[in-house]
Amino acid sequence: MSAALPTVPWDSLAEAGTLARAHPDGIVDLSVGTPVDPVPPFIRQALASAAAAPGYPTTHGTPELREAAVGALERRHGVTGLPADAVLPTIGSKEFVAWLPTLLGLGASDLVVIPSLAYPTYEVGVQLAGARLLRADSTVAIGPERPALVWLNSPANPTGQVLPPEHLRKVVDWARSRGTLVVSDECYLTLGYAEPPVSVLHPSVCGGSFDGVLAVHSLSKCSSLAGYRAGFVTGDPALVARLLATRRHAGMIVPRPVQAAMTAALSDDSHVAGQRARFAARRDALRPALLAAGFRIDHSAAGLYLWTTRDEPAWDTVAWFAARGILVAPGTFYGPTGDRHVRIALTASDERIAAAAARLA
């Protein structure tokens, strides 16, 4: 199966990267969403405090971790009534996205719907399971067939689009009427700017019932824990129990020290607000520079990216930026309809963001 998978798209940026690195003031790499800000000291201390853990950790996570996740979702996002047993830690969110169709036992007879513009791992997960893929942004576009799984992503990667509660509720109601599972990738939920994002588990969306709905969360962006591989999935208790049983067999376990770090991170909101403020400041520095340079910014109401175009082929725009020492990602990485946009990440230091803005000017 792996032989049929596509190459990692970022490998195709090598030539543009070489050009950007030739800039006299060095490269400004805005092509990937990897955090650059330090891990908060109290999270590092929590990690170290659990270092003497010779035994196997639990796949379900510690009770303290699951309670902390429930508390964070309620405080930060208004999710109420979620049982702690319905939280399952994951080794980051990417592995869960990639393996969920397989863990659910989907195959050639099953249809999986992903957004028209989506992070490549959604498609890879469908391929790993041998299922069928449909890119669609509305239930109307799906047609009469009953999908096994519908992926949502709000705030979206790469576009930064925020789906309003009314739209999310419509998708959930539509899926429940067909016995279709809805899974919402909410890794950027804490990073709202122009529009407040809403979780699929919020009562205004799910109606107070978690049946047939899952939400995927990551601590990579809000807590700078990409290097820890720290995430979790929650929602429908029966589905979480089913996934737990499978993951126990497969050895998909978050290390005990990482679980301790996650518990600390999920118990504190001040560092999340501080990280959001840092990204917002970088966004405020880049947006006017892009607009002044003749670009249009679409969506980009939340998240880590600016979805940008000047109505030319995406790779032409990549080359234009690379000539100025700035590396960005072509929209074609995320689907055919991204062929005239580029994705610009906010995950660079304040100094590098300022350098990019100056070069655009």
- Per-residue pLDDT tens digits for 252-281: 999 999 999 999 999 999 999 999 999 999
Contact indicator for 304, 164 with CB cutoff of 8 Å: no
Hey, is 217 helix, strand or coil?
strand
- Per-residue pLDDT tens digits for 313-353: 999 999 999 999 999 999 999 999 999 999 999 999 999 99
What's residue 118's pLDDT? 95
Alpha helices (runs of H) in 149-300, residue ranges in sequence order: 165-176, 203-206, 237-250, 256-266, 270-292
**Helix then strand then coil, % of the chain, to nearest 5:** 45, 15, 40
Contact indicator for 87, 234 with CB cutoff of 8 Å: yes
What's residue 6's pLDDT? 73
CATH for 56-268 (3.40.50.2000, 3.40.1190.20, 3.90.320.10, 3.40.640.10):
3.40.640.10
Helix (H) / strand (E) element for 15: namely: helix 14-21
Pairing of strands 149-153, 181-185: parallel
Hey, is 298 helix, strand or coil?
strand
Residues of the chain with CATH 3.90.1150.10: 2-38+271-360
Report how far residue 154's alpha carbon sits from residue 77's, in angstroms, rounded to the nearest whole number: 13
- Per-residue pLDDT tens digits for 102-113: 999 999 999 999
- Per-residue pLDDT tens digits for 138-174: 888 888 899 999 999 999 999 999 999 999 999 999 9
Report how far residue 344's alpha carbon sits from residue 266's, in angstroms, rounded to the nearest whole number: 28
Instruction: Report the CATH superfamily, name and number, of domain 2-38+271-360.
Output: Aspartate Aminotransferase, domain 1 (3.90.1150.10)
Task: State the Cα torsion 267-269-275-277 to the nearest 10°.
Answer: 180
Kindly report whether the peptide bond that precedes residue 155 is cis, defined as omega within 30 degrees of 0: yes
Residues of the chain with CATH 3.40.640.10: 56-268
Tokens of 191: 């990073």
